[in-house]
Amino acid sequence: MNQPKTDARCHHDPGVRGFASDNYAGTHPEVLAALALANDGHQVAYGEDAYTDNLQRIVRKHFSARAEVFPVFNGTGANVVALQAVTDRWGAVICAETSHINVHEGGAPERMGGLKLLTVPTEDGKLTPELIDRQAWGWEDEHRAMPQVVSITQSTELGTLYTPDEIRAICEHAHAHGMKVHLDGARIANAAAALNVPLRTFTTEVGVDILSLGGTKNGALFGEAVVVINNDAVRKMKHLRKMSMQLASKMRFVSVQLEALFAKDLWLRNARHANEMAQRLAEGARSVHGVEVLYPVQGNGVFARLPHDASERLQKRFRFYFWDEADGVVRWMCSFDTTEEDVDEFLAALKEETAW
């Protein structure tokens, strides 16, 4: 599959594979072809192009006839702008302690978005109505940031999934308290593939108000989108996207990638494959002495605990990250281009390095 490097302009070895992140993968060939198709001639800037217009129709088929899509540059931008669109200046966001907005966005929701994050510890990365209630209080207390949004991630940062009924319960509970629900969907395709349901089943149909639609981790070159389901946020989104430096002038090149993914079934094919490779990896890892797979493998990520020295030796052969280095926990991610051979080579190396 991978050809040796022959072109002097190529500064990496395409044969090197890793399990550090689905962001390490390249761009799916069908997405690259779509980018080339959109490149000829002139199109109106700032989203008034034919590709963004068609993306609107595609997104409405997946979510609802009233949905509005706003392409942006990246996932952090999508999350921050979406959360701003459903909060006041004094608003706060309830989220899991492990959530991406809390741990891996450099403080952007608080520094750039002006939001207070009210975090809740969870066992599996998932919130429940009972866990939300730990922070859902003090709406009339001017000394406390007002809880206005519950943010969940699907699939979660620990690779686990919410069922549609679990998200419905969260939405009903949040709405009863006057709060909105945001869904971080950086890996929303992996969740839909694993649950074997349409995207609307665990978003529009259960009460989600606004979501971040991921593309980069599923085969796009760059670009994500905010999908507004509760139209109260549409007017704010138009201004916030520009003010937050997430309005692309040549937006057609973001939109055409999402169009290539979501117009037919490329998003689903990519996600299913990544999930299947994660299952293969997890099954093999469970048979290795000294390796413990920690959470249900429901998406494209595997979290495991193994001896620290074995992880360090293995990292010299394959790139991956420690999740909790003190506890020996690592994260292995699979991508749309991960092959069975990649997984089997990694498992063979894992067995060698844990056999010392």
Hey, CA dihedral for 187, 190, 194, 199, is it positive or negative? Answer: positive
pLDDT value at position 342?
98
Over 50: is that where the pLDDT of 241 sits?
Answer: yes
8-17 pLDDT, tens per residue?
Answer: 889 988 888 8
What share of the chain has pLDDT > 70, as a percent? 98
Phi, psi of 231 (to 5 degrees): -70, -5
Residue 168 tokens, joined: 């419905």
- Answer yes or no: do 226 and 307 share one domain: no
Average pLDDT over residues 21-38: 97
| 171 domain-assigned | yes
> Quick one: which of 135, 235, 125 has its CA closest to 179?
135
221-231 pLDDT, tens per residue?
Answer: 999 999 999 88
pLDDT value at position 4?
54
| 116 domain-assigned | yes
Domain that holds residue 281: 266-354
pLDDT value at position 5?
55
| 22 domain-assigned | no
- Answer yes or no: do 284 and 150 share one domain: no
Neighbours of 356 (CB within 10 A): 9
- Interior angle at CA 143, CA 230 and CA 91, nearest 5: 15
Contacts for 32 with CB less than 8 Å, ≥ 6 apart:
221
pLDDT value at position 180?
98
- Answer yes or no: do 338 and 211 share one domain: no
Over 70: is that where the pLDDT of 341 sits?
Answer: yes
- Answer yes or no: do 80 and 193 share one domain: yes
- Answer yes or no: do 244 and 279 share one domain: no
244-278 pLDDT, tens per residue?
Answer: 999 999 999 999 999 999 999 999 999 999 999 99
Domain count for the chain, please give it: 2
- Answer yes or no: do 223 and 326 share one domain: no
The CATH number for 226's domain is 3.40.640.10
Which pLDDT band holds residue 1 (cuts at 50, 70, 90)? very low
Average pLDDT over residues 169-188: 98
Hey, CA dihedral for 78, 83, 88, 91, is it positive or negative? Answer: negative
Neighbours of 82 (CB within 10 A): 33
Residue 215 tokens, joined: 């593309």
User: For the range 197-200, what are the long-range contacts, defined as Cβ-Cβ under 8 Å and sequence gap of 24 or more?
Assistant: 197/164, 198/62, 199/62, 199/63, 200/62, 200/63, 200/64
Helices (H) and strands (E) in the chain, counts: 13, 11
* Domain's final residue, options 230, 262, 294: 262
| 232 domain-assigned | yes
Neighbours of 148 (CB within 10 A): 22
| 4 domain-assigned | no
* Domain's final residue, options 262, 295, 327: 262
Over 50: is that where the pLDDT of 311 sits?
Answer: yes
